[in-house]
Structure 1
Amino acid sequence: MFPTTLRWRLSAVIAVVGALVAIGLSVLVRTEFERMQLADARRLQDERIQLVVRDYAMSGTATLGADLDSPDLPRELREAVHGGQRATYLERRPGQAWIWAAAETDGKILSIRTSYADKDDALDQLDQVLVIGSAAVVVLGTLLGVILGARLSRRLRLAAAAARQVADGDTEVRVRDAIGGRPADETAELAQAVDAMADALQERLAAEQRVTADIAHELRTPVTGLVTAAELLPPGRPAEMVRDRIKALRGLVEDVLEVARLDTATEKAELTGFDLLTFVQRRVTALTPEAQVSGESQTVLTDPRRLERVLVNLLINARRHGKPPVEVHVQGHTLRVRDHGPGFAADLLRDGPSRFRTGSSDRGTGHGLGLTIAAAQTRVLGGTLTFANAENGGAVITLVLPANSALDDGLGGGSGLAAG
């Protein structure tokens, strides 16, 4: 399977390119060396046959080991020197190689033959050198690709990690700081672009949070006045309806203010150790006595006020938008709330809860802040909140609190135990 990471892709590309370049250069060098070697051998043999011809003309004898009308003379060379010509010829046989030179004089052919095996040996040695050199080039190129790819992929991984931290709400993290200022390459340009986008989004989000908080804060005074005025109304059905709507409005304003505070990411949990099952039983009995509670005792270290807020919102959601029976199960650091209604909509399962959106019309109406607050408070507690639909129908919300090794060992984690 071809590697998918940038580091190994770059290494593979450099290795392949290095191999192709090394092979091409090796073939070129070998071909040129072989051509020059053969040209030198032909030139030397040609000089020798010229001396042999001159000595034969003067003394009538063949010198330098030359032969006269040799029966071993290749047919191609014999035809080439016909008519008083002079030529050279490379003859190869299995395990043997000779370089010939011949010339015709007085109707006879003088020829001289020299072994070419030493030249082939030199060519074999060159082949070995070229193979070793090509392998070295490929290995060094691959190592260079690994180093360069590791450096580049490391910067990209750091940039991706920083971008995820920004996406998770860490406003102090910037990509350019995570990857460093040098070198000023495309990764640095990407970091600057991501940081600029994060700054712009943060400014817009801060502006929206300020507007939301200001509106909710300004509404508290007139809503409080409405509550007081409603208490002065004479008894009757109209007065009850007014008080009910004012109560709903007051709850909405308080929820919006809570969301605005949680959006600032400055909320901190005040940790206390207590038994989770006992805590849940008391809250469920007070709010939803018809709900079924089961599980095992487990001491946890968390913020009871924020945990109560999460549990209450989950129970209200199950009672208001689901159908009975509502089941609450505690196991270890996990708390699960399930109803038997129509379940969650696909977009809520995909994207999570959003303010002022209830997702599915089958689960009733509402302003969508209950689950949003529950999710935000869970993040403050350091836990996770997941949403799912049961196979046989109904919505399932699972809250997982962070484990504490000291409490798990029965040491209390340095915090006082509270019954909840």
Structure 2
Amino acid sequence: MRGIIRRLVGARVRGTGIRTGLRWKLSAAITLVGALVAIVLSLVVHNAARVSMLDNARDLADERVQIAQRNYELSGRPNFPDIKIDDPHLPSALRAKVEAGRRATYVTDRPGGGPDIWAAVPLKDGHVLSLHTGFTDRSTDILKDLDQALVIGSIAVVLGGSALGVLIGGQLSRRLRKAASAAHRVARGEPEVRVREAIGGVVRDETDDLARAVDAMADTLQQRLEAERRVTADIAHELRTPVTGLLTAAELLPPGRPTELVLDRAKAMRTLVEDVLEVARLDGASERAELQDIMLGEFVARRVAAKDAEVGVQVVHESEVTTDPRRLERVLFNLLANAARHGRPPIEVTVEGRVIRVRDHGPGFPEDLLAEGPSRFRTGSKDRAGVGHGLGLTIAAGQARVLGARLTFRNVRPPGAADHIPAEGAVAVLWLPEHAPTNTGSFPMLAD
């Protein structure tokens, strides 16, 4: 179950890409949208205000032209200083409209300045009466004040949107981080952890749906794997009696080569049944460590010498540890058996403090074992497999968990060599805990 959940929810992104948090992505998105909206609205409001002021100025100029026209027709002069007759600077477009007998206004843009307002009307004697004025200082000041207010408002909107994005994104990011942390705990073998409870809070959003989905997935996987474990344990348990009877019967056969072959296969079958039962017990997290204080270097040297005198043991630094000697021996022997079966001599064991290293000089561990850890009934590549059932390292890893230890695997390559260069050996490293195991899913019992 841990391997499945780890692949589903604990995959790490490989590469050199830059990783940015959801908080900053959401803040940047809200800031960008706020800035675009503020710019568009500012332009719309500025243009609308300018058009409105120009319309008012044109209406005012048109009224003054009409008044000047009436005064001219009554007294022969316009009576306004800025009213001109047949102004040579009158824009050609406005002159064309007036010559067509129409009263009109016209706006031109002064280079480097504000707009110019023109108004003209035809007279009965054929002349053209016109008015030329510009934006009033008051209108210019109003437009500048409006632009300043729009700029300040836009900056406030951008800053407010950024802060809101950080706030909302931070809340969502915290909930997702809590969910990811809880999911990693489940992947590390803590099935009692619930992602929904880890998130907490009163907000109900999509993260709750995600948490419930992960919890449901973990429960379903746990139930299926528990059912599989029970079936495997039941089958192995039922096979113990007939296999034991078969082994007993084989021992009663007359001496000879056929009898040796039958005994060999019967013993292999009994070993396989016992290994399957041990794996089932370890998967059930019901194993208890019986702790004792031992001198690690002396213990390893004696056990290895009794197992295989050709294996060299080097104690770099002696250390007293509190552990389960029987389970530690099981881990050590399984690592030695794997090195002897799949590697090449010489096999070397090194003890340094609380760390035990078992090295061979074979082709190295398969890549899938290095990436995902030991897997039952999968022996790896042809270079380092071909025999066995893939249970030795699985049992070693399970017993290490009961001891609260960490078991790692790596291949030895020349310094600076690429990954495709063949390995010069394999190293299994057992890291025993500094304190007695109490948080491994089992309950240690101190031996009397």
Q: TM-score, normalised by structure 2?
A: 0.80
Q: 2:216 aligns with which of 196, 199, 212?
A: 196
Q: 1:390 aligns with which of 412, 415, 429?
A: 412
Structure 2 unaligned blocks of 5 or more = 1-16, 414-422, 437-444
* Equivalent in the alignment of 2:165: 145
SS in 1 for 2:407: strand
Letter in 1 for 2:352: Q
In structure 2, how many angstroms separate the alpha carbons of the residues matched to 1:327 and 1:258? Answer: 27
My pick for the range that moved more, 51-60 or 180-189, is 180-189
The reply to whether residue 5 of structure 1 matches residue 21 of structure 2 is yes
- Pairwise CA distance, 1:260: 1.1
The reply to whether residue 185 of structure 1 matches residue 220 of structure 2 is no
Q: Let me know the Cα RMSD of the aligned residues.
A: 3.2
Letter in 2 for 1:187: T
SS in 1 for 2:374: coil
Q: Percent identity?
A: 59
Q: 1:321 aligns with which of 342, 351, 367?
A: 342
Q: 1:310 aligns with which of 331, 334, 339?
A: 331
1:363-401: CA deviations, max 9, x gaps?
A: 451122111010111122222222222225222211222
In structure 2, how many angstroms separate the alpha carbons of the residues matched to 1:10 and 1:276? Answer: 54
Letter in 1 for 2:389: H
In structure 2, how many angstroms separate the alpha carbons of the residues matched to 1:390 and 1:94? Answer: 76
* Equivalent in the alignment of 1:174: 194
Residues 362-373 of structure 1 correspond to what in structure 2 (within 5 A)?
362-363=383-384, 364-373=386-395
* Equivalent in the alignment of 2:418: none
The reply to whether residue 356 of structure 1 matches residue 377 of structure 2 is yes
* Equivalent in the alignment of 2:403: 381
- Pairwise CA distance, 1:172: 0.9
Contact 1:66 1:110 in 2 (8 A): no
1:107-135: CA deviations, max 9, x gaps?
A: 44444444415223322222221122112
* Equivalent in the alignment of 1:60: 76
* Equivalent in the alignment of 2:185: 165
* Equivalent in the alignment of 1:401: 432
Structure 1 unaligned blocks of 5 or more = 406-414
In structure 2, how many angstroms separate the alpha carbons of the residues matched to 1:18 and 1:299? Answer: 64
* Equivalent in the alignment of 2:358: 337
In structure 2, how many angstroms separate the alpha carbons of the residues matched to 1:358 and 1:78? Answer: 98
1:42-87: CA deviations, max 9, x gaps?
A: 1112112222222333333433434343767534455543465433
Q: 1:347 aligns with which of 343, 356, 368?
A: 368
* Equivalent in the alignment of 1:410: none
- Pairwise CA distance, 1:325: 0.9
In structure 1, how many angstroms separate the alpha carbons of the residues matched to 2:251 and 2:89? Answer: 131
Q: TM-score, normalised by structure 1?
A: 0.85
SS in 2 for 1:337: strand
In structure 2, how many angstroms separate the alpha carbons of the residues matched to 1:304 and 1:153? Answer: 45
Residues 239-258 of structure 1 correspond to what in structure 2 (within 5 A)?
244-258=264-278
The reply to whether residue 87 of structure 1 matches residue 104 of structure 2 is yes
SS in 2 for 1:279: helix
In structure 1, how many angstroms separate the alpha carbons of the residues matched to 2:83 and 2:395? Answer: 109
Query: CA 1:229–1:185 in 2, change beyond 3 Å: closer, same or farther?
Result: same
- Pairwise CA distance, 1:231: 6.3
- Pairwise CA distance, 1:235: 6.7
In structure 2, how many angstroms separate the alpha carbons of the residues matched to 1:275 and 1:52? Answer: 117
Q: 2:58 aligns with which of 26, 34, 42?
A: 42
Letter in 2 for 1:313: N
- Pairwise CA distance, 1:205: 0.8
1:140-194: CA deviations, max 9, x gaps?
A: 2222222222222322222222222223222112222222375443332222322
In structure 2, how many angstroms separate the alpha carbons of the residues matched to 1:274 and 1:79? Answer: 112
Contact 1:73 1:111 in 2 (8 A): no
SS in 1 for 2:428: strand
In structure 2, how many angstroms separate the alpha carbons of the residues matched to 1:96 and 1:247? Answer: 104
SS in 2 for 1:88: strand
